[in-house]
Amino acid sequence: AEEKDAGKRHHYRELRRGGFVRSMTFPEDIDPAKVTAAFDSGLLKIEIPSLRPAPTQKVAIK
- 12 CB-side CA count, 13 A: 6
The pLDDT-based confidence of 3 (bands split at 50, 70, 90) is: low
Query: Structural domain boundaries of the chain?
Result: 1-51
Read off the pTM: 0.48
Cβ–Cβ under 8 Å, residues 36 and 47: yes
3-class secondary-structure state, position 34: helix
Q: pLDDT tens across 9-46, in order?
A: 666 777 777 777 788 887 778 888 888 999 888 788 88
| Alpha carbon of residue 35 to chain centroid | 10
More confident residue, 47 or 2: 47
* DSSP H or E segment with residue 44: strand 43-47
Residues facing 47 on adjacent strands: 36
- Residue 52 or 13, more confident: 52
